[in-house]
Amino acid sequence: MPVRFLRLLFPILCCCAAAWAHAQPVCDLVLSGRVIDNHDRQPLSYAEVYVPALGKGAVADQEGRFVLAELCPGPLIVRVSHLGCAPVMRTIQLLDDVVMEIKLEHHAEELKEFEVLQQRPDEHVGQANKELDKASMEKDAGRSMGEMLARIPGVSSLQSGPTISKTVIHGLSGNRILTLNQGIRQEDQQWGTEHAPNLDPLSSDRITVVKGAASVQYGSDALGGVIITEPVELPRERGVSGEVRGMGMLNSRGVGGNALLQGGVGGIPGLGWRVQGSGRYLGDSEAPGYVLSNTGVREGGASASVGYRDHRWNASAYYSYFTRDLGILRASHIGNLTDLNNAIESGTPWYVGDFTYAIASPRQQVQHHLIKADGGYAISERDRIVLTYGYQADDRQEYDIRRGGRSDIPALDLFLTTHTADAVLNHWAGKHIHGKVGVSGVYQENVNVPGTGVRPLLPNYRKQSGGVFLLEHLPLSPNVELEAGARIEATQLDVAKYTFDNVLITPQHRFTNSAFTIGANWSVKDSVRLRFNVGSAYRPPHVSELYSEGLHHGAAAIERGDAALSSERSLKGTADLEALWFGGRLRTDLTLYADRIDHYIYLRPDGVELTVRGAFPVFQYVATDVFLYGVDATVQLKLAQHFSLRNRTSLVRGRDLAQDEWLFQMPSDRMENALLFELSQVGKWSAIECAATSQVVFAQSRIPVGLDFTLPPDSYNLIGLSASATRTLGKNEMRIGLQANNLFNTTYRDYMDRFRYYADARGTDLTLWIRYSFGKR
């Protein structure tokens, strides 16, 4: 089988090699110019001009002048930012030396020539954060958001077989990771280890991961970090553009695609709209040697948005719908204790069927609706108030294999509604202090839909919370900026449940929490930047941790809560170094962190129980005090004009301080080594990229003794190849790519896969994708 894949990849790799051999442009071009204010034409001293693709940049002098030398011919994307301005991006066709004048807005007015990339250049002053841009997301087209983000150092995934992936940041996941979907906190039963986020990552063109305690700005659940799917800026000028993308996946024999159409409205400058849709249709995944039966996926999503912006006002409305139907590995549901032991010891699944696209029980069905409305008004040139409202409805059914023809009746049927509201004032008190103050509120209600015939895993509940925060930025000099903030939040949880004696009880829980953050961003020189942050965070226990009682079908486990649990409280420190060395040939990015969490809540294995539905492992929610620490590192060395070597390494350690043992289910050490090839242009083809990767994941040796059901899996090494290129077709563009994962069909199991007890992970996978962009961009 691997030989067939190598034959498919060979022509593309040959093209890459031939292109390099026959096209060696001289990289001696210079881009220079001046950055000025758009209104008074005053120079913007110390503006940053940066080329993301090259990892190369310059800081303007006191007169706003900058120089970037030793550039290659071809298209160049330049990002320009300055304190108090919205960062902008500009595409330049570099055929000769270029001198340019760049105008930036010092307030949120219409930007005619530039695409706004993010709200502020100093949004996360001291926080380590990494961005997954559109190009990186496109390379992983057809994969889930969790699989996309796992390529970032310090980020891994907690899996439940090949169909479900949840993001882990610095060893923390689930309710400790907050996801912002278009600026709204995502609420979709994220407490379950096998509840993947119900959102379409392709509805955004950039995802930012904040790797630190961020409760001050974002509230509870941001204890481990924040995943931000950035809202895409709507067009403001007349014209229609769009893109269509298709993809095919060999493993699972699946297909997928997405389409986008957007434009401005003639006669009404500042008014824009966008519609988008996507879908995936996958059959059973395959491990080396056998089919992973009942692991198909049906997924679809659509969104629409409209917005208006002028010098003072802005308003927008957004709606998205997402649906997913996925199978749970059939071999994870077993009938008795002997079968469980045999499944663990045999190394092969007890059930293997023929490949099929059909999805049978056990399975999950989810539907998620999001409505967002926001508006802003510029009180002055630098002060702005923003109001945001969000409504979400999440409908989840989980189906089990049931006797008496009842497998089509859900064993778990939950309907969750959430209202969120935020009011934020961005204020400017002078060049040495500016920031934001805000209030936020959440109202949430969860209902068990009758008719399951099963005692609910979770009770009905109502949650209300409200908080207020202040976050200030204090630029001390052009090279040093401080950040400090605080937040206080109150939460009330009202629960309604029946005891085993069929008596209705209505317990109530109240939690009051606070958090602070202190950070610094120090540009030591043009090519070296340091970030520091110390911050606290909090998370009230979720109702699942308090009151779970029974079989959680999607996880194939019995889970039990503890109503006496209290809020988690974290104190985390991070230090982040980004630097260019030897004239930009060597790029390093290093993050160190340490995190103390009191009352850390987790599912601890607690034996095995035989029920009328079969034998299942038992997990009990317990609380302890823990200490986590680790390092993320990226090193990239430019070997030659078109070749680079890159290493990404992640190490995390977690200790249970109360038990004096290693913490259960912490990611093992991992690294990725890559040989990269890039060429700006060959004939009509541009942005040519090829990569060969080796991902090494080491066996987890730091585990609590005698706690797990089996020993951690062995180390493994997965080889991957990828290639992509762009072709300009008149005013339009086509980009095509091919990616191979686990090229040599390696047999392995991952410690962070909850179904590793029952089956191997997915084998060789080959994905072919093509994107066509048209219209004004």
Same domain, 470 and 613: yes
User: What confidence score (pLDDT) does residue 20 get?
Assistant: 44
Using the 3D structure, point to which of 210, 244, 273 is the last residue of a domain.
210
Residue at 611 is within a domain: yes
User: What confidence score (pLDDT) does residue 757 get?
Assistant: 87
Residue at 9 is within a domain: no
The distance from CA 39 to its chain's CA centroid, rounded to whole angstroms, is 37
Residues 322-370: tens digit of each pLDDT: 999 999 999 887 766 667 677 777 778 889 999 999 999 999 999 999 9
Residue at 496 is within a domain: yes
Residue at 515 is within a domain: yes
Work out how many domains the chain is built from and give that number: 2
Range of the domain at 338: 215-774
- C-alpha separations of 281 from 92, 142, 653 in Å: 39, 10, 38
- C-alpha separations of 601 from 70, 604, 718 in Å: 53, 9, 33
Using the 3D structure, point to which of 178, 210, 242 is the last residue of a domain.
210
Same domain, 205 and 243: no
Same domain, 204 and 346: no
Residue at 8 is within a domain: no
| Inter-residue contact 542 to 591 (CB < 8 Å) | no
Same domain, 712 and 565: yes
Q: What is the CATH number of the domain that holds 140?
A: 2.60.40.1120
Same domain, 106 and 219: no
Residue 325, exposed/middle/buried by CB under 10 A (0-12, 13-18, 19+)? middle
Residue at 2 is within a domain: no
Can you tell me whether residue 379 is helix, strand or coil?
coil
More confident residue, 214 or 354: 354
pTM above 0.75, yes or no: yes
| Inter-residue contact 82 to 123 (CB < 8 Å) | no
Same domain, 140 and 239: no
Reported as a pLDDT band with limits 50, 70 and 90, residue 767 is very high
Same domain, 629 and 602: yes
Residue at 24 is within a domain: no
Own/partner long-range contacts of 732-736 (Cβ < 8 Å, ≥24 apart): 732/772, 732/773, 732/774, 732/775, 733/772, 733/773, 733/774, 733/777, 734/770, 734/771, 734/772, 734/773, 735/138, 735/687, 735/770, 735/771, 735/773, 736/768, 736/769, 736/770, 736/771
Same domain, 186 and 237: no
User: What confidence score (pLDDT) does residue 39 get?
Assistant: 60
Given a cut of 60, whether residue 303 has pLDDT beyond it is yes
Q: What is the DSSP string of 10-79?
A: HHHHHHHHHHHHH------EEEEEEEEETTT--B-TT-EEEETTTTEEEE--TTSEEEEEEEPSEEEEEE
* Rounded Cα gap, residues 193 and 556, in angstroms: 11
Residue 6 host element (H or E):
helix 2-22
* Rounded Cα gap, residues 456 and 442, in angstroms: 24
Using the 3D structure, point to which of 210, 244, 259 is the last residue of a domain.
210
Which range scores top for mean pLDDT: 85-89, 383-387, 681-685? Answer: 383-387
Same domain, 549 and 643: yes
Please state whether the peptide bond connecting residue 197 to the residue before it is cis, i.e. omega within 30 degrees of 0: no
In this prediction, what percent of the chain has a pLDDT beyond 90? Answer: 51
Q: Is the dihedral of CA 658, 661, 662, 665 positive or negative?
A: negative
Q: What is the CATH number of the domain that holds 604?
A: 2.40.170.20
Same domain, 252 and 334: yes
Same domain, 82 and 130: yes
The two structure tokens encoding residue 301: 């999503």
Same domain, 174 and 233: no
HEC assignment per residue over 400-420: CCCCCCCCCCCCEEEEEEEEE
Residue 430: CB partners within 8 Å, gap ≥ 6? none
| Inter-residue contact 769 to 141 (CB < 8 Å) | yes
Residue at 17 is within a domain: no
User: What confidence score (pLDDT) does residue 335 get?
Assistant: 63
* Rounded Cα gap, residues 515 and 572, in angstroms: 11
Site of tokens 């609590």: 704
